[in-house]
Amino acid sequence: MSDTREVISSGNELAAMAAVDAGCMFFGGYPLTPSSEVMHKITDLLPAVGGAAMQMEDEIAGIAAAIGAGMSGVRSLTATSGPGMSLKAENLGLAQMAEVPLVVINVMRGGPSTGLPTRVAQGDINQAKNPSHGDYKSITLCAGNLAECYTEVVRAFNLADRFMQPVIVLLDETIGHMHAKAVIPTAEAVKAGIKPRKTFDGPAEEYRPYDVAQDEPAVLNPMFTGYRYNFTGLHHDADGFPTEEKETCRKLIDRLFRKVDEHKDEIELNEEYMLDDADILLIGYGSASLAIKEAINELRKDGIKAGMFRPITVWPSPEERLYELGKKFDKVLVVELNQGQYYEEIQRAMERHNIEKLTKTNGRPFSPADIIEKVKEVF
């Protein structure tokens, strides 16, 4: 029996299907173009499996409700677009500090402010790295095709429970509204891969949720199950109670970073396309990568050997691999639907500035011709 299936759907609807298949039992959100179909679809799906979906009064209430569901021990989701992410920022910081697992889908559109609500952009890359004030170690995944609208949401739920923090999944308007065939895992295969979050089963008086190794996440038992602890966005001690003791505060923030940084091998995922014999390196992500692949195929017909590196996990950055590629390739072109947000990260990781870029911020997607023309112009 095959572990895959073929479906015809949109990226947004696939993301909702993935959440339910991955065990999500609660959605809290508010409709916002171009993400609204995620909420529409999951509102149909969750009641059939005993879950609940709530359209809240605004984006802030949507993530607050989802955090509450996460505290109760269930997998929870919220979905939005750029302006909604801005509204969710404070509560993202709360979930990060208190270590409440949560998945946030952001279907990117043009900005800032209201921008281009019905058009495509990739302008939320930097926001996803630091979605809240303060020091924040983000886990952000980026779907690059229809199938990944499903598989990356599944992966996000597993990572959220493993690292006990919000995980952001970036789609963009093009992929979110694209409607075609996708080959995705069966629901049974997804369920077989679910690993429940860690819990403490010892005496209640010995339970200290934040008393963990310096590279590990908190162990938060579901609330109302007999284990007491304090829940706060303030710096806190091993029991969750607020503290300003300097060493406790230092170790807390250090641990929130180290639990991710020292386990990048569990998080990082990239795609490399025709790189083995390439002379030119193209870097892109999301829907832009679809145009890059077509451009590479056409360029090779003309004898121009180009290849692509695509980060699927954009944060934490695949900086080690980017550094290696920067040493291997003299000719590097970054393609993205913003003014060069990931371009700056690539410069940092490669430790060089002689990197070309192709950007677009008018709400229209790249065509393969755009990329072919730029490659022939600069190289």
Res 177: pLDDT: 98
For residue 142, the Cα-to-chain-centroid distance in whole angstroms is 5
Tokens of 357: 């870029």
Q: What is the pLDDT of residues 5-29, one digit of tens each?
A: 999 999 999 999 999 999 999 999 9
Entry pTM: 0.97
Q: What is the pLDDT of residues 97-144, one digit of tens each?
A: 999 999 999 999 999 999 999 999 999 999 999 999 999 999 999 999
Q: What is the pLDDT of residues 60-108, one digit of tens each?
A: 999 999 999 999 999 999 999 999 999 999 999 999 999 999 999 999 9
Q: How confident is the model at residue 334 (pLDDT cuts 50, 70, 90)?
A: very high
DSSP per-residue codes, 61-109: HHHHHHHHHHHTTSEEEEEE-HHHHHHHHHHHHHHHHHT--EEEEEEEE
Q: What is the mean pLDDT of the chain?
A: 97
Whether the predicted pLDDT of 37 surpasses 80: yes
Res 2: pLDDT: 83
Cα separation, 264 vs 244, whole angstroms: 30
- Is it true that 4-192 and 270-378 share their CATH fold? yes
Where in the chain does DSSP place strands (E)? Answer: 4-10, 24-29, 52-55, 75-80, 102-110, 116-120, 140-142, 166-172, 179-185, 270-273, 280-283, 306-311, 313-315, 331-336, 356-359
Res 183: pLDDT: 97
Domain borders along the chain are 4-192, 270-378
CA distances to 32, 96, 106 from 116, rounded to whole Å, are 12, 29, 15
Q: Which residue has the tokens 């303060």?
A: 134
4-192 is classed in which CATH architecture? 3-Layer(aba) Sandwich (3.40)
Average pLDDT for 299-320:
98
Res 1: pLDDT: 67
pLDDT above 70: percentage of residues in the chain: 100
HSE of 103, CA atoms in CB hemisphere, 13 A:
32
| Residue 142 near residue 168 (C-beta atoms within 8 A) | no
* Topology of the domain covering 270-378: Rossmann fold (3.40.50)
